[in-house]
């Protein structure tokens, strides 16, 4: 198996383990064994905000790594590469922030 496959499998196992404990946490909060619609809405918002942060972090990390590789190959173009990298990272960060705010609003409202 490749490193990427192992990483994805590990992340999926961690997510499954975390989701296994969610009903018990919400049952304690609500005072009963089942989950109501409000609890599911909060869970979905929190999960969505976390996924948005994960995706944004992976995207910005990939942009940074690619930019460093490109600068190593063509040092004379480093200014243009850095400018494009910063603009791309800012756009990804803005979209990520928007997604996190929407997810947190779903949790709070």
Into how many domains does the chain fold? 2
Whether 30 and 47 map to the same domain: the answer is no
Q: What is the pLDDT of residues 78-104, one digit of tens each?
A: 999 999 999 999 999 999 999 889 888
Indicate which CATH number applies to the domain containing 61.
1.20.20.10
Q: What is the pLDDT of residues 12-65, one digit of tens each?
A: 777 776 766 666 555 555 555 556 777 778 888 888 888 888 889 989 999 999
Confidence (pLDDT) at 67: 95
5, two tokens = 């496959």
3-class DSSP string for the chain: CCHHHHHHHHHHHHHHHHHHCHHHHHHHHHCCCCCCHHHHHHHHHHHHHHHHHHHHHHHHHHHHHHHHHHHHHCHHHHHHHHHHHHHHHHHHHHHHHHHHHHHHHHHHC
Whether 107 and 61 map to the same domain: the answer is yes
Whether 96 and 67 map to the same domain: the answer is yes
- Rounded to whole angstroms, the Cα distance separating 102 from 52 reads 10
Confidence (pLDDT) at 90: 95
Whether 16 and 43 map to the same domain: the answer is no
Whether 19 and 66 map to the same domain: the answer is no
Whether 22 and 60 map to the same domain: the answer is no
Whether 2 and 55 map to the same domain: the answer is no
Confidence (pLDDT) at 94: 93
Q: Which domain holds residue 84?
A: 36-109
């Amino acid at each position: 198996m490749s490193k990427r496959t192992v990483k994805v499998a590990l992340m999926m196992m961690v997510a499954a383990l975390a989701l296994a404990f969610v009903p018990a946490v919400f049952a304690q909060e609500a005072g009963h064994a089942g989950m109501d619609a409000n609890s599911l809405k909060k869970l979905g918002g929190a999960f969505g905000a976390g996924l948005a942060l994960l995706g944004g972090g992976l995207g910005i990390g990939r942009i940074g790594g690619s930019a460093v590789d490109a600068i190593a190959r063509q040092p004379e173009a480093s200014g243009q590469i850095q400018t494009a990298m910063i603009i791309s990272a800012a756009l990804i960060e803005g979209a990520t922030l928007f997604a996190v705010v929407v997810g947190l609003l779903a949790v709070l409202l």
